[in-house]
């Protein structure tokens, strides 16, 4: 795991000193080694830099940037190619010779042998830049699911790329001009989805995409090499449930084993839920030593999953470490969040994720994080709610919704801001207008945010930009569950979950691997009949049944909690001083972006005990803290 950065500057003012500064702020991603390569061409300067966290081949032979024997092709890579040994053997049979044992060299040689189509052979998580002086092109490449981040900036003859936005701030040519449309998405989703970024002229490379920068014309073009929707649209597999379980179990075994390939110690984040417990059970069964597992708990019972993780660890006999998170930990970590997540990010579980990453880093350099099971197999309760809402919306003509809309609209002056009745009024309005498609239904079930609120909050915003929830391509899917899972996989998973885990783990110089996000698992799961995944009230059916082959059902069957913490209670009490420091009228007005009255009304209601407003208050606090760190 590493950090990468670089530039192409047609003004020729960028030098190697700037390159080193861009890489230095990524030292947390790679504390073990650093390297740069600088090129002075006739019409531009170019450079790429690397910070290394040594995982595969710890020797100096794996140093980056890494170059071809002829020196015309160079690469910087962040991530891991898990099947690099097999690819290396294939290349060696074709006469290719290697000088290291690293997966980076395999990517370099694969590109030189097969060109960009080599990406279809990679199993792994990766974000890389390939500088090809012969083709006169720079290629940026990101893994299929978006596990590893990659930003780029293109304006006034300057092209920048980096693993994190903080690198761009080190370049004097970077323009820190906020993108109001991206901010609107942040206040809707609590994160900024691809391809948007918080600054203008800046973007995130989409998952499953590579970008080519032409060094002659100084133009860019994007190419999609993997699209989850294409697999969701394929015909369902003609297999019975027992066969599906067998094939999926084999895929799990292969994917989980790949993620254990390392020259440094590996552990696992264990929540006690089905996903991480399944990974722990499969891995521990095939190991001669005890798997190291780590979990975070809370004193508040309604948020505490540590006891479940403890029971699973005891059953599997893992080497388990547990830490109880308190408000004092939140006070310590909160000021660091704007630096760790260097664009606005408001998932409160970033706090325990940072804590568990620090906890794991004491003993291991790599930790598996079992994210993706809910998005693959329908594990979120909101999926069930969205399915029910969709059936109702499709079964009842829209004019039947006018009566409840009229009743709720008449009560509007008496509805509490952010209340469930207020939400239902807005929902009924969409139903009465016939505007509630399956994609929008899921969007509202996930985020409970309406465009009208955000346009009132953000001064000068006219409308929100389009996202995957507006993608007409998904209309080809007849099955509502297929639509919802495909959307979850391309929106909430990369923009929120994977961003959270990558930044939190890398801030601790810990590599986080995602065994359930092997693309082979998605390609198989997307073509399974929906009843194998959600059967009536039973969510994530097939994954749970496979887990029951490894773990006693009575150990696993309990209500789903999720990785949550009592942040709203803390904000009213132990963190109240911090909340008021950033959310007072003067601080809210300082950016000139937020409507002060809009925020003030919701602050008063929240402090009186209205938890429905908790998500908005947290998003606004995280934005205020980010703005103070990066824009003042």
Contact 256, 517 (CB under 8 A): no
Which tokens in the block code for residue 291?
């798997």
Helix/strand/coil for 142: strand
CA dist., res. 414 & res. 586, Å (int): 29
Token pair in block for residue 557:
């069957």
DSSP 416: P
Distances in Å between the Cα of 84 and the Cα atoms of 108, 119, 149, 185, 390 are 11, 12, 21, 38, 44
392-398: long-range pairs with CB below 8 Å, 24+: 393/431, 393/436, 393/441, 398/431, 398/432, 398/433, 398/434
With H, G, I as helix, E, B as strand and everything else as coil, classify residue 472. helix
C-alpha to C-alpha distance for 478 and 205, rounded to whole angstroms: 29
Burial 418-431 (b: 16+ CB within 10 A, else e): beeebbebbbbbbb
Judge whether 583 and 621 are in contact, CB under 8 Å: yes
Do 293 and 280 contact (CB within 8 A), yes or no? yes
Residues forming beta bridges with residue 535, ordered by sequence position:
538
438-447 and 381-395 are packed helices; what angle lies between their axes, rounded to 10 degrees?
Answer: 140
99/235 Cα distance (integer angstroms): 45
* Largest Cα span, the chain: 77
Bond into 205 cis (ω within 30): no
Active site residue 2: yes
Q: How far apart are CA 549 and CA 530, in angstroms?
A: 21
Write the DSSP symbol of residue 362. T
Distance CA 251, CA 255 (A): 6
User: Cβ distance 321 to 359 under 8 Å?
Assistant: yes
What single DSSP character describes residue 291?
A: P
Peptide bond before residue 195 is cis, with ω within 30 degrees of 0: yes
CB 251 within 8 A of CB 530: no
DSSP state of 617: H
Burial label, 565 (beta-carbon count in 10 A; 0-12, 13-18, 19+): buried
Taking a C-beta distance cutoff of 8 angstroms, is the pair 380, 371 a contact? no
Q: Are 224 and 206 within 8 A, CB to CB?
A: yes
Helix, strand or coil, per DSSP, at residue 95: coil
Active site residues: 2
């Amino acid at each position: 795991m590493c950090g990468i950065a670089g530039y192409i500057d047609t003004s020729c003012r960028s030098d190697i000193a700037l390159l080193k500064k861009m890489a230095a702020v990524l030292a947390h991603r790679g504390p073990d080694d650093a390297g740069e390569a600088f090129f002075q061409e006739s019409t531009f300067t170019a450079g790429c830099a690397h910070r290394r966290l040594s995982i595969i081949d710890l020797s100096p032979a794996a140093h980056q940037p890494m170059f071809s024997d002829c020196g015309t092709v160079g690469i910087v890579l962040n991530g891991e190619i898990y099947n690099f040994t097999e690819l290396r053997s294939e290349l060696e049979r074709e006469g290719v010779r290697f000088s290291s044992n690293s997966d980076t060299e395999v990517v370099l040689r694969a590109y030189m042998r097969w060109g960009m189509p080599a990406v279809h052979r990679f199993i792994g998580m990766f974000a890389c830049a390939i500088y090809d002086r012969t083709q006169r092109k720079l290629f940026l490449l990101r893994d299929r699911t978006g596990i590893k981040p990659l930003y780029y900036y293109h304006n006034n003859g300057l092209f920048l790329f980096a693993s994190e936005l903080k690198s761009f701030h080190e370049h004097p040519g970077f323009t820190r001009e906020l993108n109001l449309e991206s901010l609107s998405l942040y206040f809707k989703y609590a994160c900024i989805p691809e391809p948007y970024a918080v600054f203008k002229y800046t973007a995130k490379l989409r998952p499953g995409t590579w970008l080519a920068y032409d060094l002659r014309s100084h133009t860019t073009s994007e190419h999609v090499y993997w699209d989850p929707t294409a697999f969701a649209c394929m015909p369902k597999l003609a297999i019975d449930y027992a066969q599906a379980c067998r094939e999926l179990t084999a895929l799990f075994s292969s994917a989980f084993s790949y993620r254990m390939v390392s020259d440094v110690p590996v552990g696992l984040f264990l929540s006690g839920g089905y996903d991480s417990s399944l990974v722990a059970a499969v891995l521990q069964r095939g190991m001669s030593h005890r798997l190291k597992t780590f979990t975070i708990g809370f004193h508040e019972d309604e948020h505490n999953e540590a006891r479940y993780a403890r029971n699973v660890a005891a059953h599997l006999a893992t080497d388990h470490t547990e830490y109880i998170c308190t408000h004092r930990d939140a006070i310590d970590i909160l000021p660091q969040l704007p630096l760790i997540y260097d664009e606005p990010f408001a998932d409160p579980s970033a706090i325990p994720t940072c804590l568990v990453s620090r906890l794991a880093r004491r003993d291991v350099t790599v930790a598996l994080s079992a994210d993706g099971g809910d998005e693959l197999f329908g594990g979120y309760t909101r999926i069930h709610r969205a399915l029910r809402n969709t059936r109702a919306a499709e079964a009842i003509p829209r004019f039947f919704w006018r009566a409840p809309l009229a009743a709720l609209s008449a009560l509007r002056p008496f509805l509490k801001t952010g209340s469930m009745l207020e939400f239902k009024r807005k929902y009924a309005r969409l139903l009465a207008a016939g505007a509630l498609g399956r994609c929008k239904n899921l969007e509202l079930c996930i985020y409970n945010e309406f465009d009208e609120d955000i346009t009132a909050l953000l001064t000068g915003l006219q409308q929100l930009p389009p996202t995957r929830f507006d993608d007409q391509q998904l209309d080809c899917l007849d099955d509502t569950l297929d639509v919802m899972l495909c959307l979850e996989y391309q929106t909430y998973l990369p923009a929120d979950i994977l961003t959270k885990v990558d930044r939190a783990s890398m801030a601790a110089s810990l590599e986080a691997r995602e065994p359930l996000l092997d693309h082979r698992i998605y390609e198989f799961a997307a073509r399974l009949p929906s009843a194998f995944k959600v059967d009536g009230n039973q969510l994530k059916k097939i994954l749970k049944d496979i887990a029951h082959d490894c773990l006693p059902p009575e150990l696993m069957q309990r209500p789903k909690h999720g990785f949550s913490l009592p942040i709203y209670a803390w904000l009213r009490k132990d963190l109240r001083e911090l909340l008021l420091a950033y959310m007072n009228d003067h601080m809210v007005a300082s950016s000139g972006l937020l409507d002060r009255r809009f925020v003030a009304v919701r602050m008063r209601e929240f402090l009186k005990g209205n938890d429905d407003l908790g998500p908005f208050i947290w998003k606004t606090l995280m934005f205020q803290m980010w703005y103070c760190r990066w824009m003042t």
